[in-house]
Every structure is written in structure tokens, then in C-alpha cells.
Chain A
């Protein structure tokens, strides 16, 4: 290696492959409920779409999964926690809604009220 730029380029490239193992903080944690009901309602496709988009758009968010997070009939559920610990849960999320959540909530910090799981639902 003859220049520091070369090293930095390689670092950037290599970081893309191991983002989840770096210790940087994240702006959002996106948790997809993957219990049996969630999977039956199509949570897997939602999860995969979220992972893909977060990576593609280089959003500083971590997408993980959980088991059933609420007892509802409103699956698939997606919980979004911001860095201050505030959280909201979206209900009946499909692939198109997942893209909308990314565009509005994660990219513009706009909660989409109409998709939210309400108390007692």
C-alpha cells in the first residue's frame, strides 16, 4: 500500500461487509416481530425488504428480529426505537408500507400515525 487513501478506500469497502459488527451507535433500531403469527402474515418479506433498503440507502439503523412482541391480530408488527429510547409499533406492515416507513420515519423522522398500533388493539 503506497498511500493512506488506498487504506481508507479499503476500510470503507470492508466496513460495508461488517456494519453489524462495528461498535458505532445507531439512530434507529428496527425490530420485526417474527413469531409464528408474524411469519404467517408475511413478516419475513417485510424483514428482508427493511434489511435491503436500510443497506441500500445507507441508513444508520440496525434491523433485528424478535419473537412475538404484542398479542394482537394485527401482524406483521414492526417496532422502531430511536436512539433516545422512544418507540412506536407499526401494525399490519406489508412490503410497500415497509418502504414508506423507511422513507418517512427513518429518513425524515416522520412517524406515520395512521399505521401505528393503538393502545388496546
Chain B
């Protein structure tokens, strides 16, 4: 009789951390201990704390082991599974007064609420029965057997669910527009072209709970009167694509996709369309062009996709995370969903925490949670005692928030009013070692690469923006450069064709507004306060502190350091120095200063 179930994260992060081999090793050790009839091992989706993966959850104890390696498994099996003594040094659970806390009360999870990520890290994503055991496809059954199309739309409208892909447009309104179109053929699309640097919640949902998206797409199709769907996903998410394929096959086998689902007369099927990973294809009109087999370039709106979308037919496009909320809204009711979060931003939001933060990974919190709670209580703050400087939200279309904004409740409108945006939920934490001019330059670099080139302001304007920023980081900037940045940013915002270009200057404008002093330091003092911009840096050896050991000179790759061993203090030739920083690492006496 089974008494323990071990689920090993098989998301992208943990797979890279060798979680596949862990499953085999667990099975081997469990067999070796003679426990094979008592313990089963399965794979599952993202548990959240990707930074310390591979993660392994043990039920029914509700213990998560972190950074598990093949060598730890024997100990876990004999100590925990056989003798009932969880291996504390590997546990993610907090231990308080010698007692192991339930994982849901441990600091990383205590403030989280999992709706979109529900079932991720609990069920085996490649087994439809486990999804069904957790009330999977019950929402579809309810919709098809007891609700009219309008009732479904009203329920989604009442829930206040807003699009999780970036814009925050009410999902129910989109559905209503498409529903009101008098065309016979309509389509539903799932936008899984997740492109913001550092955001990976959509991938994790598809890897951990693909059926939730399939079920929601069927519900959306029923509501608007469509019977075919596309999931547009980038080919660089191979695990998510494979899990989706398995899920779609299983759903078809069980008659949950196909003709006459639940005997209701409703037919629905869908297919996967692979994208090549262009950022612009996350823009809905470009995505539609790509599905149709054209080059992914945006189209002027209107007409909106709800009127004329893929193949010229009414189409709704929702993001993966938006869909992942639908089944639970139908099952638990719009009032339940609307009671979570804030009145204007209901429900929860998944954030991908990255950058200078202790707990890197996926967190899902109710809207209205403050940035401080997310970054400090859940994320653990900046590592190595460094000082928090800013958090970048919304990816290349977003902006920065600083210390003063830490107590802002997170919501679509709150972030917009501070000059940033929700975006798809990437949160890159920056500390005192990050140069804000360099951060803006990084995002512009990304945009220049990803601009599709269709409209001039975005194609040429962003390139010019990038060059202006680069000149500042090289110490060539003047006051005119700043004026030009502001002017050009406004023109790009006003004249670009699609959202990509219209929001591209945001990182520049946001950092200019919040960190004007850093820009000034670059152009006036020709200094980079954070010590990032190489051209503005110099490494100086303090002759008082130098012990004349010559270790720095040995490490210098360009022979820029000279001095006489044991006799004279060493000196760096600023002409030759390439500012690699190797000498600082080599010096045992902290005699080399970076300024």
C-alpha cells in the first residue's frame, strides 16, 4: 500500500539541474531499501523556488527538499522514508523551535496564494487523471451542461479578471466583443509567446498544468461561439511544447477535445503553432500574422482581432496565465475571485523574481500585496547585504520602482501611475551595484534586436536611443544628449505602430525620471556611481596599502601593472588597463580601489 509520494520538479530550471536523473535514482534507492510498494516517484511542474532547484516535494509530509543532488538521495530514502526523520539540512521548510513547519507556513510560501499556479508542483502534468482528480474539466462540464454563452461571459466579466499578458484589458470584455460578432467561424488563441527577459510564468504553467489552459480555451470557445483554437508557443520552450502535445492527445482520447463534448453538441479542437521566438509576436496582430504563415509583423488596429483576427475571422487572444484562472472562476464563482486582490485588480498575479534577490523563482500573490512583501518577505531581499536600489517591472515595456515605492500595493493601475507597468510579471531586482543608465541601455539593446522593422520610429528611433545611451555610458554624453533622449522618446511613443515601439522608451524615461543624478554623474563628472560602465572606471592601487607582493601583476591579462617585487608599490598603467577587475580579486589586502 502506498504511503509516500515523491514528486520531483521536471520544469525547465530543475531539468537543467538534472532532475531527470533524480527520479531514476530515487526509484533505485527506494527499491534497494525494499520500499518500492510503499513509495511512488513522479514528475511534476514548478514548485516555485527555481533558484535552489532541483526541488523535490514529499507527500503526505508536505516537505520540499531543495538543491537535491544524486548523492543526497540515499540519505533521504533511509533517513526520511524509512526512519521518519526528514533531512533538515536539505529542507526548504522553515524549522521553528525544533519543529518542522508545514511548507505552506514557511516564509517563501506563507504570503503566496496559488490560483494560476494551482496544481503546478502537485500533479503529474503528463497524466490527465491527476488533473481530473483535482476537479479538472469540471468547469468545462458545468459550462457545457448548465450555462448559456452569455452566462459564461457574465461570470468572467463579474470576476474582474484582467489580461495577464501585459495590458490588463478585462478578459470578459474581449469575450463579449467576439461573442457579439455575427460570423459563423470564430477562433480562440492562447498567447504563450512569453518574451520579457526574466519572465517564465507562462512556461511554468504549461509545463506544470497544461490541461488548465486547454480546458479554459474550450470554455472560451464555447462562450464566443468558436470551435477551433491555436496555442502559439515559442519553439524555445521544448518541455512545455512536449507536455502540451501529451495533454492534447490525452484530452482527445478522453473525448474532452473533439466532437460533441459531454453530449452537448459543442465541438472543439486545437493545435499548437510554434513561434521562432520573436518578441514582437507576443503582440496580438503580429501573432495572428505568424499563425497564418506570414512574417510576424503587427497590423494597424482597428480592426481589432475580436472583429477580424486569424483568417479574417473574429478571434480572442488571451495569455496563458489569464486562461489558467478561468476554470476556477467558473467552479468557485466570480464573487470568490473578485474577493481576492483589490477592486480594480482582482485575483492573484504570478511574478518571476530575478536579479539581485535571494529567492529566485516564481511567486503568486494576491493583487494588492506590496512590493516590500514580495521582495523582502517572500524574496528574501538582496543577497550579500547589498542595498536595494530598484525593481524593474514589466520588462522592456515597463519601468523601475524605487525604495519609495516599496509600500505600493501591486495592481495594474497602481504600477501604471508610477510610470511602470505590470507587464507579464517579470520582476528584476537591482541593487547598489547596478548602473541605471546601463540597465536602460540593456533594455534598449533588447528592443533594437527585437524591433520588427516595419515602422520607422521603432526601427530607427530605438537604435538612435540605444546609441545615445551608449554614448552616456562611455562618458561622451552632454546635457544635449539628455534633451535628445527625452525628445526622441516622446516621438517614438507617439508614432510607433504597435505596443512594442510605443512602450520601448519606457525604461529610458523611467530611469531618467527616477535616477537623474546617475545620468548627471555620467555626463558631468564622467563617473559611473555603481562602477559598471567600464569606460568611466579606473582601478587605482593605494601605495600605502600595497604589500608589493605582485599578485595583481601576475593576474593582469594585459600586463598593465608594474612594480618591483618587495621594493616599490605596484602601479596600474591606465592607458593599458582594460578594467577587467582581475587585480581586485587577486589582491589579498584590499589595496586596489575601483572608482
Whole-angstrom distance between the Cβ of A13 and the nearest chain B Cβ: 8
In the complex, the chain A residue whose C-beta lies closest to that of B80 is: A65
Residue pair A67, B60 in contact (C-beta under 8 Å): no
B573 interface contact, C-beta 8 A: no
B135 interface contact, C-beta 8 A: yes
Whole-angstrom distance between the Cβ of B324 and the nearest chain A Cβ: 17
B5 interface contact, C-beta 8 A: yes
In the complex, the chain B residue whose C-beta lies closest to that of A2 is: B263
* CA of A47 to CA of B83, assembled, Å: 11
Which residues, 5 to 21 on A, are CB-close (under 8 Å) to B?
Answer: 7, 10-11, 13-15, 17-18, 20-21
6 interchain pairs, CB-CB under 8 A = A1-B262, A2-B255, A7-B132, A17-B133, A35-B83, A65-B84
With contacts A1-B262, A20-B5, A62-B60 known, is A67 near B129, CB below 8 A? no
Contact of A34 among B61, B82, B130 (CB under 8 A): B82
Chain B residues lying within 8 Å of A47, measured Cβ to Cβ, are 3
Whole-angstrom distance between the Cβ of B45 and the nearest chain A Cβ: 13
Residue pair A20, B60 in contact (C-beta under 8 Å): yes
B594 interface contact, C-beta 8 A: no
Contact of A1 among B2, B61, B84, B256 (CB under 8 A): B256
Number of A interface residues at 8 Å Cβ cutoff, please give it: 32
Residue pair B141, A67 in contact (C-beta under 8 Å): no
Chain B residues lying within 8 Å of A98, measured Cβ to Cβ, are none
Contact of A67 among B61, B83, B133, B262 (CB under 8 A): B83
Residue pair A4, B262 in contact (C-beta under 8 Å): yes
* CA of A3 to CA of B139, assembled, Å: 13
In the complex, the chain B residue whose C-beta lies closest to that of A15 is: B133
* CA of A52 to CA of B38, assembled, Å: 10
Residue pair B84, A32 in contact (C-beta under 8 Å): yes
Chain A residues lying within 8 Å of B263, measured Cβ to Cβ, are 2-3
With contacts A2-B262, A20-B5 known, is A11 near B135, CB below 8 A? yes
A97 interface contact, C-beta 8 A: no
Chain A residues lying within 8 Å of B82, measured Cβ to Cβ, are 34, 39
* CA of A63 to CA of B84, assembled, Å: 12
Residue pair A17, B129 in contact (C-beta under 8 Å): yes
Residue pair A64, B145 in contact (C-beta under 8 Å): no
Residue pair B133, A1 in contact (C-beta under 8 Å): no
* CA of A22 to CA of B256, assembled, Å: 23
In the complex, the chain B residue whose C-beta lies closest to that of A13 is: B129
B254 interface contact, C-beta 8 A: yes
Chain B residues lying within 8 Å of A48, measured Cβ to Cβ, are 1, 3, 38
Binding site for A on B (CB under 8 A): 1-5, 7, 38, 59-61, 82-85, 122-123, 129-130, 132-135, 137-138, 141, 145, 254-256, 260-263
A110 interface contact, C-beta 8 A: no
* CA of A7 to CA of B145, assembled, Å: 13
Residue pair B129, A14 in contact (C-beta under 8 Å): yes
* CA of A20 to CA of B83, assembled, Å: 19
Residue pair A67, B5 in contact (C-beta under 8 Å): no
Whole-angstrom distance between the Cβ of B328 and the nearest chain A Cβ: 13
Interface pairs A-B: 8 shortest CB-CB: A65-B84, A34-B84, A14-B133, A20-B60, A67-B85, A14-B129, A1-B255, A51-B3
In the complex, the chain B residue whose C-beta lies closest to that of A10 is: B132
Residue pair A11, B132 in contact (C-beta under 8 Å): yes
A66 interface contact, C-beta 8 A: yes
Please name 11 further chain A to chain B contacts, defined as beta carbons within 8 Å, in addition to the given A7-B141, A55-B1, sorted by A numbering.
A1-B262, A4-B262, A10-B132, A10-B254, A33-B84, A34-B84, A39-B82, A48-B3, A51-B1, A63-B60, A66-B84
Whole-angstrom distance between the Cβ of A71 and the nearest chain B Cβ: 15
Residue pair A64, B60 in contact (C-beta under 8 Å): yes
* CA of A1 to CA of B263, assembled, Å: 8
A45 interface contact, C-beta 8 A: no
Residue pair B132, A2 in contact (C-beta under 8 Å): no
Chain A residues lying within 8 Å of B262, measured Cβ to Cβ, are 1-4, 7
In the complex, the chain B residue whose C-beta lies closest to that of A53 is: B1
Chain A residues lying within 8 Å of B129, measured Cβ to Cβ, are 10, 13-14, 17
* CA of A40 to CA of B436, assembled, Å: 63
In the complex, the chain B residue whose C-beta lies closest to that of A11 is: B132
Chain A residues lying within 8 Å of B85, measured Cβ to Cβ, are 34-35, 66-67
* CA of A32 to CA of B60, assembled, Å: 13
Chain B residues lying within 8 Å of A109, measured Cβ to Cβ, are none
* CA of A18 to CA of B127, assembled, Å: 12
Whole-angstrom distance between the Cβ of B81 and the nearest chain A Cβ: 8
With contacts A7-B138, A15-B133, A18-B130 known, is A64 near B61, CB below 8 A? yes
Whole-angstrom distance between the Cβ of A22 and the nearest chain B Cβ: 7
Residue pair B59, A21 in contact (C-beta under 8 Å): yes
Residue pair A22, B133 in contact (C-beta under 8 Å): yes
Point out which of B60, B138, B255 has the most chain A C-beta atoms below 10 A from its C-beta: B60
A83 interface contact, C-beta 8 A: no
A72 interface contact, C-beta 8 A: no
Chain B residues lying within 8 Å of A4, measured Cβ to Cβ, are 141, 145, 262
* CA of A66 to CA of B100, assembled, Å: 11
* CA of A34 to CA of B79, assembled, Å: 10
Chain B residues lying within 8 Å of A66, measured Cβ to Cβ, are 84-85
Chain A residues lying within 8 Å of B59, measured Cβ to Cβ, are 20-21
With contacts A1-B255, A67-B83 known, is A18 near B60, CB below 8 A? no
Chain A residues lying within 8 Å of B61, measured Cβ to Cβ, are 64
Chain A residues lying within 8 Å of B138, measured Cβ to Cβ, are 7, 11
Whole-angstrom distance between the Cβ of B275 and the nearest chain A Cβ: 31
A118 interface contact, C-beta 8 A: no
Chain B residues lying within 8 Å of A36, measured Cβ to Cβ, are 83
Whole-angstrom distance between the Cβ of B41 and the nearest chain A Cβ: 13
Contact of A52 among B1, B60, B134 (CB under 8 A): B1
* CA of A22 to CA of B7, assembled, Å: 13
Chain A residues lying within 8 Å of B135, measured Cβ to Cβ, are 11
Chain A residues lying within 8 Å of B256, measured Cβ to Cβ, are 1
Chain B residues lying within 8 Å of A35, measured Cβ to Cβ, are 83-85
* CA of A63 to CA of B3, assembled, Å: 7
* CA of A60 to CA of B427, assembled, Å: 42
* CA of A23 to CA of B476, assembled, Å: 60
Residue pair A1, B83 in contact (C-beta under 8 Å): no
Chain B residues lying within 8 Å of A17, measured Cβ to Cβ, are 129-130, 133
In the complex, the chain A residue whose C-beta lies closest to that of B127 is: A14
Residue pair B83, A39 in contact (C-beta under 8 Å): yes
Whole-angstrom distance between the Cβ of A14 and the nearest chain B Cβ: 4
* CA of A4 to CA of B261, assembled, Å: 10
Residue pair B5, A21 in contact (C-beta under 8 Å): yes
* CA of A54 to CA of B130, assembled, Å: 21
In the complex, the chain B residue whose C-beta lies closest to that of A31 is: B84
Whole-angstrom distance between the Cβ of B88 and the nearest chain A Cβ: 11
